[in-house]
Structure 1
Amino acid sequence: MNSRHSLIRAVSSLLLAAAVLVAAPARAQAEKIIIDDEGFSLMHMMLLNAPGVEVLGVTSVSGNLWSPRGAAMQLRGLEVMGRTDVPVAQGAVYPLVNTEKATERWEALYGKLTWKGAWMKQWAEPTQQSTPPYYGPNDLTNLPWGAPTTKASPEMAALFMIRMVHQYPGQVTIVEGGPMTNLALAQRLDPEFAGLAKGLVYMGGSFNPHRVLDDRSAVEFAREFANSPRREFNIRFDPEAASIVSRAPWKKITVVPADPSTATQLSRKLLDRAAKAASPALGKLIAGLEPGFPLWDEIAAAVFLDPAIVTEKEDLYVDYDTQFSAAYGDTLSWREHYQPGLGEVKATVVLSVDPRKLEDLIVRVVSAK
């Protein structure tokens, strides 16, 4: 009898333990991401420091900077942050089709571009922002935080991305802050790439931005959209890559175009506030950033971290013009039933965000311990 009671008590204990396990909420797992961008910006600092986010790697792509220079800055930025555990993989040096000479030819036919990134030599008119020095593709002189002592991975960015989505199927989100050359290469090398990722959040494209702020630098950045509302640099640098990526079978695409950026600014006040909240090492990096620019990539990072900052959005089919014409690189979009049906994937397009919530989120995540 005693042995029977003991058995009943043991079974009851096991059943109770199982019930507790079933009732308990699943332990939250860190969101796995890869950051693909030209250099090392406040966006990187936010995502690397945000709680609940595991950065599997940082990859470089040419855009505002050449890819080798961007990788060197990423390595150095990670060193300063004490995050050398995060690998850096250098990506594509050149766009798929577009070139510097082709861009100069395009300008001779259709007018001057506001910004040309790594190909920029001068502004078309006087502007408050400094003109960056012109470097060659492999010129690593005058890096803003000095040369890194660590080395980039021997694995190229596209291959690293492919390996990560296969290693963690359905778990990896790509946060893209630059041209999409690496993503397009990954998709062409492995047609399963996009479908194996959890999703894509990218800063790129333009729908119909309007000036919101009256600050001089904000006005300067907003004015380019008055006559070219569908043009944006990340896409214009490599339109073919953007079109390939837009038609890849992602589970979820979130587009952060130029539209919400015109209500935001990387002001000195915001930089000082964030630098003060951050650790001394990270604070020094933040304080040294040049103010006056819209919060382009930072919005993309913030939308990934907290979609509640979004105040207006729309689901649209999105693609990009790849014809060498006046509209080369311009954003194409359709509502349901009107898309051409060439493989476009419906995306969530972020049209506006709450600037105050955005700034509060930036300060909060860079100060997270």
Structure 2
Amino acid sequence: MRRVLGALALLVSAGLAPLAAVQAADAPPQTERRKVIIEDEGFALMHLMLLESDKVDVIGITTVSGDVWANRATALALRGLETIGREDVPVAEGATFPLLNSEEKTRRWEALYGKLVWKGAWMRQWVEPTEQSTPSYHGPFDPVNLPEGNPKLRKSDEIAANFLIRMVHKYPGQITLVACGPMTNLALAQKLDPQFASLVKELVYMGGSFNPHQVLDNRSAADFAREFENLPRREFNMAFDPEASSIVSHAPWPRLTVVPVDPSTATQRSPELLARMAKAAPPRVGAFIAALEPGFPLWDEIAAGYVLDPGIVTKADDLYVDYDTQFGPNYGATLSWREGYQPGLGERKAHVVLAIDPRRLEADMVEAMREGAQKGAGQR
């Protein structure tokens, strides 16, 4: 999730606040709603897709530092749930800091190896002029005062890692984790409980970068694709906490699906897409969508879309995946191997989504909003 934090403020000001073939064998018919926990750093379109769809049951949201600090991510998630009338979903706040990485370490990395496009919670200014506004900088323990007002809904008393552990023991083999931020909470849960990953049905995470190329020609899309021309294997979510990313890559997930940045370069959150979704959605959800800033790739939405409809995938590969934890020019970079070439140090094979059908994804996004309206979400 990136740079979508102003939508709630716009709602308040408006008075509305409160492969196919490749994947066919991988997608058995769903006889009941799939239990999902969302792991992320805020509240955005990906959350709405899963919350509104009648294909899944979101049983919790956990937050982590990444784009923003964990306390701000928690406030955004709580406020977002209030805004769309989903106060029934618990929110557990997670790790404030990465396992080893830090803002100071990132500044040292930039001094040695070059400037980064996006640094999340450590972001103070853009390197070059951009259409996006400079995000507000906050310290990890600064009081949170959202422009649209702070939530009245309270977070869970549990920390995220404990919440995750408790839920997978309560529903063994039933929960799909959809992680669209850094991996810190998942790594902590695995280290606290070595059974944790084995009790999850599937981990689907957005992160990593294999070999992305510019697909769309408009300036906004080209700018985001250009980020990977000189650092093709570095992606923010995994590089924010490389050690956690590596721990997760070695955990015994029954099924592991990686949605890297690669397929996102063919997608865009266009004004037309937002308008279609807002029109199909329940009124309060539609108001939220209408206030979102267009122009960004559909990073996290691809992960959510895969959970709702694996048939969006047009190209995929099964690879052993890990992340570089050696401090140097490739710190946090994606590592991958085909069968037989992996180091053999416990790396887990992952199903890597390399390309999707953007039109099918967009249709699924609109359909999720329509499902929300049809199940009576407009009366929340």
Q: TM-score, normalised by structure 1?
A: 0.91
Q: Which residue identity lines up with residue 134 of structure 1 in the other structure?
A: Y
Secondary structure of 2:227's partner?
helix
Selected match of 1:318 from 318, 321, 334: 321
* Count of paired positions: 344
Counterpart contact for 1:129–1:292, Cα < 8 Å: no
CA distance in 2 between counterparts of 1:92 and 1:270 reads: 34
Look up the match of 1:230.
Answer: 233
Counterpart contact for 1:204–1:256, Cα < 8 Å: yes
Secondary structure of 1:367's partner?
helix
Q: Which residue identity lines up with residue 312 of structure 1 in the other structure?
A: K
The 5 Å alignment of 1:211-222 reads 211-222=214-225
Q: Which residue identity lines up with residue 305 of structure 1 in the other structure?
A: L
Look up the match of 2:175.
Answer: 172
Bigger Rg, structure 1 or 2? 1
Q: TM-score, normalised by structure 2?
A: 0.89
Secondary structure of 2:204's partner?
strand
User: Post-superposition shift, 1:143?
Assistant: 2.1
Look up the match of 1:66.
Answer: 69
- Residue-by-residue CA offset, 1:122-169 (whole Å, 9 max, x unaligned): 111111222211112233545254211110001000000000000000
Change (3 A) 1:58 1:27: closer
CA distance in 2 between counterparts of 1:281 and 1:129 reads: 26
- Tell me if 1:152 matches 2:161: no
Secondary structure of 1:273's partner?
helix
The 5 Å alignment of 1:265-280 reads 265-280=268-283
- Residue-by-residue CA offset, 1:298-343 (whole Å, 9 max, x unaligned): 0000011100000000000000000000000000000000000111
- Tell me if 1:93 matches 2:96: yes
Secondary structure of 1:59's partner?
strand
User: Post-superposition shift, 1:54?
Assistant: 1.0
Identity %: 66
Look up the match of 1:285.
Answer: 288
Counterpart contact for 1:129–1:217, Cα < 8 Å: no
CA distance in 2 between counterparts of 1:68 and 1:254 reads: 28
Change (3 A) 1:304 1:40: same
Q: Which residue identity lines up with residue 155 of structure 2 in the other structure?
A: A
Look up the match of 1:111.
Answer: 114
Look up the match of 2:196.
Answer: 193
Counterpart contact for 2:316–2:351, Cα < 8 Å: yes
Secondary structure of 1:32's partner?
strand
The 5 Å alignment of 1:1-369 reads 28-143=31-146, 145-368=148-371, 369=374
Q: Which residue identity lines up with residue 91 of structure 1 in the other structure?
A: G
Secondary structure of 2:142's partner?
coil
CA distance in 1 between counterparts of 2:318 and 2:369 reads: 31
Q: Which segment drifts farther, 90-99 or 280-289?
A: 280-289
CA distance in 2 between counterparts of 1:367 and 1:66 reads: 33
User: Post-superposition shift, 1:52?
Assistant: 2.6
CA distance in 2 between counterparts of 1:367 and 1:81 reads: 15
Structure 2 stretches lacking a partner, 5+ long: 1-28, 375-380
Counterpart contact for 1:38–1:62, Cα < 8 Å: yes
Q: Which residue identity lines up with residue 183 of structure 1 in the other structure?
A: L
Look up the match of 1:14.
Answer: none
- Residue-by-residue CA offset, 1:69-88 (whole Å, 9 max, x unaligned): 01111111111111111100
Structure 1 stretches lacking a partner, 5+ long: 1-25
CA distance in 2 between counterparts of 1:287 and 1:138 reads: 31
- Residue-by-residue CA offset, 1:231-250 (whole Å, 9 max, x unaligned): 10001100000000000000
Secondary structure of 2:126's partner?
coil
Which fold has the larger relative contact order, with Cα–Cα distance below 8 Å and residues 6 or more apart in sequence? Answer: 2
Q: Could you say what the CA RMSD is over the residues aligned between the two structures, in angstroms?
A: 1.2
Counterpart contact for 1:247–1:343, Cα < 8 Å: yes
CA distance in 1 between counterparts of 2:139 and 2:109 reads: 21
- Residue-by-residue CA offset, 1:333-367 (whole Å, 9 max, x unaligned): 00000000111110000000001011111111022
Change (3 A) 1:124 1:183: same
CA distance in 2 between counterparts of 1:141 and 1:84 reads: 20
Change (3 A) 1:142 1:275: farther
CA distance in 2 between counterparts of 1:135 and 1:152 reads: 20
CA distance in 2 between counterparts of 1:118 and 1:313 reads: 32
User: Post-superposition shift, 1:269?
Assistant: 1.4
